[in-house]
Structure 1
């Protein structure tokens, strides 16, 4: 079962390097397809694992990367049609039984999803009366005659019949990087500087990858990420890399968010969304799961972007993802999944998993908490039917003895020349020349399980026309050891000096906090170098060359932390819950 390399043709004649691994035997097989910019050869052990379970397994270098010719423009060109061409090619092989599962992590998850959802967008392009189901391979109408002729459903020169043949039957999307804007900016607006500089240095504008490129560049130039404007950072980075990054500035020009999540609402095939509560794209994973139109499952572990491959992950938090993927793929292809949306969230490093279903979350642009009108039709039906929701919101006021106590910094100075750093959890011992608002809770009297969406609602004032508000929540164990718990950041353009009641989403939590734990909250104006510094002048932080300090005020009255406490524990085993 050793992979062999073939070259799969695409509509414009470009042949993409593809490793194919087949089990022994001659029976037609279901297939698993991975399309990646990170090197197909890195997946060979994974391909052998799938093949050992009776799947034809394929890993393909996307156009312009590693062994595939052409030019690669991330999120821009060819992924839809190249993916559809490859799925159609798989179905035409003698060893294929016609079933295909698209699988991918990070950018490869985007490749899998866009192959599934391209036909949903094509359906929208054909007019309001087109049924998205008409573009699915199963049950599709005969398009060889009459009004459904292929010429009526071209997309980029590709007939609609070809697109339907290129739609997978199920998709597994892990830690999905859903688009330029989703990866470059937080939902609340601020730019993800460190992560994007690292990714572009490693993978951008080159055929291969160099994962340590940014680390070496920072060793040579420790103040590299302070460069202004951010749009020209690539000019300075090029000196360390020895190559240009012409696509860097275009990364920040894109402002389109939510395309794949919106298209997913018309999907009818099964989705397994896999993420980690420590992954920067965790909320995109959850949004994809919440909005998907077909049977969908969420697996959210206590992991970062590398999932269980992270060597720092405790042994008891690890899940055999390979075995779970195989089990889920078999259930999905056999039609055995319940037509529902549910999932599991790990309670931190405890080894316990909590079953969950979608629930409404607050809109960061709103000053009001979510209402029944903000929820989806499915959530409304669940509410009317009295669906059990074991999560309960717990409010920790900033001005109550049992909530969070203000230590100092009700007034502080957010100075971009001396920003609060994302890579340092230490806090000032006193409030003199405060650079943040600092709050602390009493010790927890008993263990606390958290599973679901958290947010902070804060009443604040800034004396500048534009201000970022960053909230960092840290768990302090009885010995004082600090462990990051949650983070959120939003950008506001309120009138200077005018108080605003704002919501800062803190992401989806999954944690068990032992008795004696204290919660520490920091409210600051910067979170650098993870995020670009707001110049406070009203200029675009990407193009600004001048920085100014901003005077801030936090009013504890009416401000509070809202946490998703597990009121009724419902512990589950992840694999059976995901695969039912």
Structure 2
């Protein structure tokens, strides 16, 4: 077991409190299946006040194993309260496995003092919490961090200037760039922004208030996202003004001074803290996780990547047995000197289309790509198109915007979905390959190279890769959107990143490329007038023409399993 930090003063005796973890946490713990057997009974010390960097009290709960001996500490900082699901998932489960767990509400949330800011307080408050830990009699000088989403962001905040005690991190479906959570391809990720607003405003108030707010948003989503202007329309669901949400809605430019300091991408540059990463193929933060992995690998940092068949929320729900096992093995290896649970390869991915896990030596960031070209007859071919005529055009009407179906969302409609009804619309065009004679494996980042023209000069182009099975069911694999401006009727060139995937198209299936003018309300609708979508009142339909030199770029691989 790791020893206390060299030079530290002897620790005073500590008498563990007698409190048990909350009953709700113990009941949920009993309902989980497929988790390792507990090693220790867990204790609970709730309601500790930890001074933030500005002196505000940060309400903190301490979970611990009821046993003699030195145990490492895990720091979990959350803006979503300290109750369900964080209490059983991190406090109770990891205490049972032999860790002290410090579960803390971020400044201005969950009863903690001060005002919440979407990102500006986390580096200083994380350092202040570590200073407090150094004075605890049970802290042995070995620290790890863990958590999903914004709970990952606070880990990167601490890693900007990592304390010497920090020995391992586990970032699960984690955030490092707030701007990219709310904006993509020049468009606002509207539905996800509203879901984050509800979560930030209500989750720390308890399950019942959160459930009511979530249902209220679901009932009013159509009216909110269809409002003109869009600004302040969320008030009917959230009830109160949310200053930070107003700010993110109205600052789309990543270079706007508002976003200065928001991205913590630089924390991975030169980092030496062993870091495990977890994502899902339909996670809203999957692109950020792959960027984190790329930077860590470039820095030479010890890292591991797990990518499963999950959305942002299902990774810590249905995927929790795999995610917990992966996380526990990483923390034991780097905090407890027990590498017995580590897998032998750096990367493990779930391969869609065959429902199998594959272990890989690394993730391909710059794979060779194969171009699939659209034809005027709706065919998709591996060779370049020989025609010069535009293969398709469609009319996008923002008064009846093309709807979103599945994909990386924060709602229950996220993930792979049947796209049949969507593809039957007149404002959606598709190009489909012949049935495949042999499987095609796509592994890595997917993109579309588009040549488009419009009659208004303002449009969005949404592009999606789908798998069409033998029953003609079209299921989304990955996608992306770009906001484009054109001059007259001359085509403009744009490359649209469509995210990363690991997917096998089996023999007999067909590859489909789907193109439309939006995916609403996942993205805000382009009004077609050049106005800001947040403030626009007028709407103008747009004719979008796709030209023959466009192509779908697939990173086709011959996949070799790591030995």
**Structure 2-normalised TM-score?**
0.79
What does 1:457-468 align with in structure 2 at a 5 Å threshold? 457-468=449-460
Q: Which residue of 2 aligns with 1:88?
A: 131
> How big is the shift at 1:196?
0.8
Q: Which residue of 2 aligns with 1:423?
A: 405
Q: Which residue of 1 aligns with 2:372?
A: 396
What does 1:354-503 align with in structure 2 at a 5 Å threshold? 354-355=359-360, 357-361=362-366, 392-399=368-375, 402-403=381-382, 410-423=392-405, 425-427=419-421, 434-503=426-495
Quickly say closer, same or farther: Cα 1:319–1:445, change in 2 above 3 A: farther
For 1:565 and 1:492, the matched residues in 2 are separated by 28
1:304 has 2:311 as partner: yes
Give the gaps of 5 or more residues in structure 2.
1-41, 407-418
Quickly say closer, same or farther: Cα 1:428–1:307, change in 2 above 3 A: closer
For 2:263 and 2:217, the matched residues in 1 are separated by 34
Q: Which residue of 2 aligns with 1:182?
A: 180
Which residue of the other structure, out of 512, 520, 535, is the alignment partner of 1:528? Answer: 520
For 1:206 and 1:244, the matched residues in 2 are separated by 16
Which residue of the other structure, out of 55, 80, 92, is the alignment partner of 2:99? Answer: 55
Quickly say closer, same or farther: Cα 1:37–1:26, change in 2 above 3 A: same
Q: 1:565 aligns to what SS in structure 2?
A: coil
Q: Deviations over 1:412-445 (max 9, x none)?
A: 11111122110382357879xx413321111122
Q: Which residue of 1 aligns with 2:229?
A: 229
Which residue of the other structure, out of 102, 115, 119, is the alignment partner of 1:71? Answer: 115
Q: Which residue of 2 aligns with 1:351?
A: 356
Quickly say closer, same or farther: Cα 1:358–1:474, change in 2 above 3 A: closer
Which residue of the other structure, out of 196, 200, 205, is the alignment partner of 1:199? Answer: 196
Quickly say closer, same or farther: Cα 1:204–1:496, change in 2 above 3 A: farther
1:566 has 2:552 as partner: no
Quickly say closer, same or farther: Cα 1:564–1:35, change in 2 above 3 A: same
> How big is the shift at 1:319?
4.8
Q: Which residue of 2 aligns with 1:162?
A: none
**Which segment drifts farther, 59-68 or 563-572?**
563-572
For the 8 Å contact 1:114–1:260, the answer to whether it is kept is yes
Q: Deviations over 1:396-418 (max 9, x none)?
A: 22247744999x97021111112
1:544 has 2:536 as partner: yes
Q: 1:283 aligns to what SS in structure 2?
A: helix
Q: Which residue of 2 aligns with 1:4?
A: 45
For 1:542 and 1:201, the matched residues in 2 are separated by 19
> How big is the shift at 1:331?
2.4
Q: Deviations over 1:512-565 (max 9, x none)?
A: 222221222221111101100011222222222222111111123x22212222
What does 1:249-328 align with in structure 2 at a 5 Å threshold? 249-254=246-251, 255-256=253-254, 259-292=263-296, 293=299, 294-311=301-318, 319-328=321-330
Quickly say closer, same or farther: Cα 1:300–1:516, change in 2 above 3 A: same
For 2:357 and 2:43, the matched residues in 1 are separated by 37
What does 1:115-134 align with in structure 2 at a 5 Å threshold? 115-117=158-160, 119=161
Quickly say closer, same or farther: Cα 1:549–1:501, change in 2 above 3 A: same
For the 8 Å contact 2:278–2:323, the answer to whether it is kept is no
Quickly say closer, same or farther: Cα 1:409–1:192, change in 2 above 3 A: farther
Q: Deviations over 1:344-384 (max 9, x none)?
A: 221026122241535445xxxxxxxxxxxxxxxxxxxxxxx
Q: Which residue of 1 aligns with 2:502?
A: 510
For the 8 Å contact 1:75–1:179, the answer to whether it is kept is no
For 1:429 and 1:462, the matched residues in 2 are separated by 21
For 1:21 and 1:206, the matched residues in 2 are separated by 21
Q: Deviations over 1:198-238 (max 9, x none)?
A: 2213423896362452432442574221112222323xxx2
1:109 has 2:113 as partner: no
Q: 1:171 aligns to what SS in structure 2?
A: strand
For 1:427 and 1:48, the matched residues in 2 are separated by 45
**Structure 1-normalised TM-score?**
0.76
For 2:145 and 2:520, the matched residues in 1 are separated by 36
For 2:396 and 2:551, the matched residues in 1 are separated by 21
Give the gaps of 5 or more residues in structure 1.
120-135, 139-166, 362-390, 573-580
Q: Deviations over 1:218-264 (max 9, x none)?
A: 42574221112222323xxx234443334332122444478211332
